[in-house]
């Protein structure tokens, strides 16, 4: 009995090069095209409704925090994160401006004065872990002036994100 293998010629769906294959399921010509195809299909899935729902479920999963914490304890992960921050502060103008601002003597003095003058969060009236917040964020064109600043605790500041919210001064 003689077995005849049938070779079919098709075009690669990534680079459009004609190639021969025995398989009726092979659609790409090389490992490089296979990795490109995989990345495209993964990105397409992430943008789909099912992919967004999966990501949402994962972000709400308590195990995610454990895994992330365990990962960030590794020295190579810390080094990668530090390198990313350094790269951002060097290349992105907004981050460069914020770094210069936070390192300036005037900012440190203004921050100290506001924390001494008010001493409590404008939103929840907490006295712990206070920060200075820009009412109109600098990333949205807000200025670093006393009229645009308020004292918030770290959790209220994080919850506010980039929203423009002016909290009232606490009643003394």
Taking the whole predicted model, whether its pTM rises above 0.85 is answered as no
Domain boundaries, the chain: 14-60, 105-172
Looking at every residue in the chain, the average pLDDT score rounds to: 87
Task: State the Cα–Cα distance between residues 49 and 77, nearest whole angstrom.
Answer: 30
Q: Which residue has the higher pLDDT, 52 or 140?
A: 52
Task: State the Cα–Cα distance between residues 18 and 92, nearest whole angstrom.
Answer: 43
Residue 51 φ/ψ, nearest 5 degrees: -65, -40
Instruction: Calculate mean pLDDT across residues 130-151.
Output: 87
Structure token digits, residue 107: 């900012």
**28, exposed or middle or buried, with CB in 10 Å at 0-12, 13-18, 19+?**
buried
Of 26-30, 32-36, 42-46, 138-142, give the lowest mean pLDDT range: 138-142
Q: Describe the crossing of helices 62-72 and 75-91 by its angle, rounded to 10 degrees.
A: 90
Q: Which residue has the higher pLDDT, 159 or 98?
A: 159
pLDDT tens column, 65-74:
888 888 888 9
CB 144 within 8 A of CB 107: yes
Instruction: Calculate mean pLDDT across residues 163-170.
Output: 83
CB 141 within 8 A of CB 118: no
* pLDDT above 70: residue 171: no
Kindly indicate whether the domain formed by 105-172 is annotated with CATH number 1.10.30.50. Answer: yes
Report the 10 Å Cβ neighbour count for 121: 24
Q: What is the pLDDT of residue 172?
A: 57
């Amino acid at each position: 009995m003689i077995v005849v293998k049938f070779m079919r010629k098709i075009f690669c769906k990534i680079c459009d090069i004609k190639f021969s294959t025995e398989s009726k399921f092979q659609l790409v010509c090389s490992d490089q095209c296979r990795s490109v195809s995989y990345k495209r299909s993964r990105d397409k899935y992430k943008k789909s409704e099912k992919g967004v729902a999966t990501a949402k479920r994962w972000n709400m999963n308590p195990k995610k925090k454990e895994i992330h914490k365990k990962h960030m304890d590794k020295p190579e992960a810390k080094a990668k994160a530090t390198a990313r921050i350094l790269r951002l502060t060097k290349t992105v103008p907004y981050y460069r401006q914020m770094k210069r601002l936070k390192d300036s003597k005037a900012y440190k003095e203004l921050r100290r004065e506001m924390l001494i003058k008010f001493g409590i969060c404008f939103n929840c009236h907490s006295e712990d872990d206070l920060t200075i917040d820009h009412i109109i964020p600098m990333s949205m064109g807000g200025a670093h002036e006393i009229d645009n600043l308020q004292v918030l605790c770290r959790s209220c500041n994080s919850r506010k994100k980039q929203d423009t919210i002016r909290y009232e001064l606490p009643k003394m």
